[in-house]
Amino acid sequence: MSFSSQTKGELARVVPTKKCCMLAEITGFLRVAGSLRLVGGGKFTIVASTENPAIARHYKTLIREYFGSNAGIEVGNSQVPGKARGSYRYRYSLVIRPDEKSLQILRETGMILIKEGNDFLSDGIYQPIIRNKCCKKAYLRGLFLGVGTMSDPRKSYHLEFVLNSSQVAQELKRLIGSFVDLSAGLIERGEEHVVYMKRAEYISDMLGIMGANEAMLEFENIRIGRGLRREVNRISNCDNANVDRTLSAAEQQIKYIELIDAKLGLDNLDPVLRETAQLRLELPGASLTDIGEALRPPIKKPGVSKRFAKLKEIAESLDK
């Protein structure tokens, strides 16, 4: 099961305890997953579809609890995007007919409003539904269960809501930004409007806001693990680079020392330079710090560096 499906499974088990939050979550889901069928006489049937049976059962229960409406569930097939013709997957559709209060539900969720005595279909987020912070969280949960998805955090950090309405997308972006230290981007992908997050801390906060606490903890554990691996790799790369530099410098120093030995003889060097040169020949892979600790008496790295600089100067003078 993907991380996104796992998260949705957890959210589908969250049951709002307050009536206002029930309404907000139902409204969010219907806004993005619902469509209307005109059945004549100015009456509508609401159809809200999902590929997850747990989500369909969740909203059937919420709608019955809040509205006293017994929505039906129909099972059908849909073409799998990007797959060969004939590749299908199941879709579960909540169906709320006129005799199950479809019009009352449309009015209370703000999907149908009245203007100048006439009904009209609204767009955007119905603001009276999300006056309270708890309702904003529930509404976001409904939106995510309807059209949300996220990548596996082991591979990348990405959470998005894929919407058909530009107005809903813009208002969703503002809704997310109403939470402290949280923001989202907005892009168009063909005819779709995508509200997205790529920063790990934002995604973690969003999971917590929607009520996916188990997913948030797993996300944070993965995030910490990725951070540790990056740090280990960084240190390892630095160590490897330092080793390469040390060996390269040591090779140059050995060349200088061999030139001095051939043209002057190490025995003719100052005793401290002779001791340093002999140690380098004995310890070709040692760092300057290691050389300094092997000297008697030991000296610090800068002192060893000065001695090798002097040996280089002597070698260059002999090579002219």
Residues 31-72 pLDDT 10s:
999 888 888 777 889 999 999 999 999 999 999 999 999 999
For residues 121 and 248, membership in a common domain is answered with: no
| Residue 233 included in any domain | no
266 & 169 share domain: no
Say which residue, 234 or 171, is predicted with more confidence: 171
Q: Are residues 56 and 188 in the same domain?
A: yes
Total of domains in the chain: 2
**Residue 126 belongs to what domain range?**
3-211
Residues 143 and 275 occupy one common structural domain: no
- CA angle in degrees (0–180, nearest 5) for 178-183-189: 120
The pTM (predicted TM-score) of the whole model is 0.70
Same domain, 207 and 258: no
Examine the pLDDT at 118 and tell me if it is beyond 60. Answer: yes
* Per-residue pLDDT at 294: 83
pLDDT at 75: 87
Q: What pLDDT sits at residue 85?
A: 56
My answer on whether 257 and 170 are in the same domain is: no
Q: Which of 159, 189, 211 is the endpoint of a domain?
A: 211
C-alpha torsion sign, points 28, 31, 32, 36:
positive
Q: Please provide the DSSP assignment of 159-201 as one string.
A: EEEEES-HHHHHHHHHHHHTSTT---EEEEETTEEEEEE--HH
Residues 80 and 188 in one domain: yes
Q: Are residues 26 and 99 in the same domain?
A: yes
Q: Tell me what percent of the residues of the chain surpass a pLDDT of 70.
A: 89
- What DSSP line would sit under the chain, residue for residue? --HHHHHHHHHTT---SSHHHHHHHHHHHHHHHEEEEEEETTEEEEEEEES-HHHHHHHHHHHHHHH----EEEEEEEEPTTSPTT-EEEEEEEEE-GGGTHHHHHHHTTSEEEETTEEEE--S--GGGG-SHHHHHHHHHHHHHHHEEE--TTT---EEEEES-HHHHHHHHHHHHTSTT---EEEEETTEEEEEE--HHHHHHHHHHHT-HHHHHHHHHHHHHHHHHHHHHHHHHHHHHHHHHHHHHHHHHHHHHHHHHHHT-GGGS-HHHHHHHHHHHH-TT--HHHHHHHSSS---HHHHHHHHHHHHHHHHHHT-
List CB contacts of 212: < 8 A, sequence separation 6 or more.
7, 10, 11, 14
The verdict on 22 and 157 lying in the same domain is yes
What confidence category does residue 320 fall into, taking pLDDT thresholds of 50, 70 and 90? low
pLDDT tens digits, 167-189 = 999 999 999 999 988 999 999 99
Average pLDDT, the chain: 86
More confident residue, 65 or 1: 65
Give per-residue pLDDT as tens, 120-177: 888 899 999 999 999 999 999 999 999 999 999 988 899 999 999 999 999 999 999 9
Residue 105: predicted pLDDT: 93
Residue 98: CA atoms inside 13 Å, Cβ hemisphere, count? 8
Please tell me whether residues 207 and 248 are part of one structural domain.
no
Residue 220 belongs to some domain of the structure: no
pLDDT grade for 193, boundaries at 50, 70 and 90: very high
* Residue 15: other Cβ atoms inside 10 A: 13
Q: Which of 106-115, 190-199, 252-261, 277-286 has the highest mean pLDDT?
A: 190-199
The per-residue pLDDT for 278 is: 85
* Total residue count of the chain as it appears in this document: 320
Residue 315 pLDDT level (bands cut at 50, 70, 90): confident
In which band, very low, low, confident or very high, does the pLDDT at 284 lie, cut at 50, 70 and 90?
confident
Which among 186, 211, 236 is the end of a domain?
211
Q: What is the pLDDT of residue 296?
A: 83
Lowest-confidence segment of 112-121, 123-132, 221-230 by average pLDDT: 221-230
Q: How far apart are CA 301 and CA 6, in angstroms?
A: 55
Q: Let me know whether 15 and 121 are in one domain.
A: yes
Q: Is residue 255 part of a domain?
A: yes
pLDDT over 60 at 237, yes or no: no
Residue 162 resides in a domain: yes
| Residue found by looking up tokens 């939106």 in the block | 143
Position 228 pLDDT exceeds 70: no
pLDDT category, 227, cuts 50, 70, 90? low
Q: pLDDT category, 224, cuts 50, 70, 90?
A: confident
Which residues in 267-297 are b (16+ Cβ under 10 Å) and which e? eebeeebbbbbebbeeeeebbbeebbeeeee
Residue 129 lies in a domain: yes
The predicted structure's pLDDT at residue 271: 85
Average pLDDT for residues 11-20, to the nearest whole number? Answer: 94
For residues 103-129, give the mean pLDDT. 87
Structural domain includes residue 27: yes
What number of CA atoms fall less than 13 Å from residue 171's CA on the CB side? 19
- pLDDT the model gives residue 235: 53
